Amino acid sequence: MMLKIKRVPTLVSNFQKDEDEIGARGVGCGRNCLRNCCLPGSKLPLYAFKNLSYGKFVADETMEPPVDFLESLLLGEWEDRQQKGLFRYDVTACETKVIPGEYGFIAQLNEGRHLKKRPTEFRVDKVLQPFDGSKFNFTKVGQEELLFQFEASDEDEVQLYPDAPIDAEKSPSVVAINVSPIEYGHVLLIPKVLECLPQRIDRDSFLLALHMAVEAANPYFRLGYNSLGAFATINHLHFQAYYLAVQLPIEKAPTQKMSVTDAGVKISEMLNYPVRGLVFEGGNTLEDLANVVSDCCICLQENNIPYNVLISDSGKRIFLLPQCYAEKQALGEVSPELLDTQVNPAVWEISGHMVLKRKEDYEGATEANAWRLLAEVSLSEVRFQEVTALIFEAIGLSVEENEHAREGSPEDLDVTPPQPMEEIDGL
């Protein structure tokens, strides 16, 4: 089954060339970057979201938001940058299909991504590494790549400021295009961009990502996170997000309830999926959910365990996926056949959106092949239970509670039936 998405011709932006290829343009360093040389006087739209951290969201139908966050703002601005030629290649020209099978893995042929994407510039065996300003980071991007600032509102309502100054002292969180996209509307959420935080999750940054999922209010818009060692390629804190109007295979996997925290967050284990992982739902407030998941991520980071995160269902479901593919690569435990595909299984691949780089792999894509690759990503059953026990200890749940919950009754099994696939028509 072929998926249809909007196609707009795309050129390569001068701002994506190497620094030594670009001459001075008359202002600052000539790149219109986010550093002190170019930042003074810069302005960017500011989307101020209603802060839901301290209570459940109750929709106020009498108040119209100033702009539709997903379609009018995010995707509208993304298409504007596409038409201006700020991408390394035209992702809308990439072939995409749903692979026949029970889960409906999605295959995309993207022959330009591995050739034009930035190479990794740091060690892959350390989840926590200090920020290095000499390496590529998001303060070096052209301001043309930024879409808007994303901050909590000071008022009890959503606000949009079309031309807000960029306050360097407050280090705004920004949304930018991913210049090497893998799907329509592929963007980056960069918390406190000017603080130059390394790629590591903390409570505030994860809560910000959840707010973005809530504002999008669309189950087909997901956010993802890759730690170092789990195929993050830039050591500057960021989340990825894009729009894909099909249910992801990982979202179809059944789950088994394990435990519920004092804050009302339900933790479940994924079943019948090639990558073992945990699923988080609920919570008395959005902040409760964010705190539990971010504390689990912090535990993995501090124990040097690479992981990926998928924020799904408008922020209502979060998948936490410890992985070991890079470790297996280093130990020579991955078959040459899989290595030859050059697929780096990060959050999107693990979720079931397989970005393939060779036409032969795309044409021969099967559910069995996808399953085989992802099975190499997963921790073993024994190791996964060890890591789960470590996580439960970090968030104050005992191993006994964990084991008791996993022996629960059949009604604790949550099976989400596969949904019919839909064709995509960008907007």
Strand-by-strand arrangement of the 106-109 sheet: 95-98, 106-109, 353-356
Active site residues: 238
Q: Which residues partner with 322 through β-bridges?
A: 307
What is the pTM (predicted TM-score) of this model?
Answer: 0.88
* Other Cβ atoms closer than 10 A to 333: 11
Q: Identify the three-state secondary structure at position 357.
A: coil
Query: At what angle are helices 399-406 and 381-394 packed, to 10 degrees?
Result: 130
> Tokens standing for 286?
């959005």
Q: Which pLDDT tens digits describe the chain residue by residue (427 residues)?
A: 444 334 333 333 333 444 444 333 445 788 899 998 999 999 999 999 987 654 444 444 456 678 899 999 999 999 999 999 999 888 888 999 999 999 999 999 998 665 555 566 667 789 999 999 999 999 999 999 999 999 999 888 899 999 999 999 999 999 999 999 999 999 999 999 999 999 999 999 999 999 999 999 999 999 999 999 999 999 999 999 999 999 999 999 999 999 999 999 999 999 999 999 999 999 999 999 999 999 999 999 999 999 999 999 999 999 999 999 999 999 999 999 999 999 999 999 999 999 999 999 999 999 999 999 999 999 999 999 999 999 999 999 975 544 444 544 444 666 544 444 343 333 2
* Assigned CATH topology for domain 42-57+66-395: HIT family, subunit A (3.30.428)
Alpha carbons 355 and 110: distance in angstroms, whole number: 6
Residues contacting residue 41 through CB under 8 Å, at least 6 positions apart: 165
Phi, psi torsion values for 317, nearest 5 degrees: -130, 135
Under 8 Å between Cβ of 153 and 141: no
Q: What pLDDT shows up at residue 421? A: 39
Q: 381-394 and 286-302 helices cross at what angle (nearest 10)?
A: 120
User: Residue 350 in contact with residue 250, Cβ under 8 Å?
Assistant: yes
Cβ atoms of 88 and 117 closer than 8 Å: yes
Q: Are 253 and 259 in contact (CB under 8 A)?
A: no
Domain borders along the chain are 42-57+66-395
pLDDT of the residue at 19? 44
The CA-to-CA distance between both ends of the chain, in Å, stands at 20
Give me the helices (H) in 217-324, please: 249-252, 286-302
What letter represents residue 123's amino acid? R
Best CA proximity match to 1, nearest among 118, 105, 111 = 105
Q: What was the pLDDT predicted at 62?
A: 52
Q: Maximum CA pair distance of the chain? A: 69
HSE value, Cβ hemisphere, 13 Å, CA-based, for 216 = 29
pLDDT at 413: 67
Could you count the other beta carbons within 10 Å of the beta carbon of residue 244?
23
Q: In the block, which residue shows the tokens 């550093």?
A: 35
In DSSP terms, which residues pair with 225 in a beta bridge? 309
What radius of gyration, in Å, describes the C-alpha atoms of the chain?
Answer: 21
The pLDDT of residue 55 is 47
Instruction: List the one residue out of 231, 377, 230, 239 whose CA is nearest residue 306.
Output: 230
Q: Within 10 Å of residue 4's Cβ, how many Cβ atoms?
A: 10
- Residue type for 55, please? G
How confident is the model at residue 209, as a pLDDT?
Answer: 98
| H-run or E-run covering 405 | helix 399-406
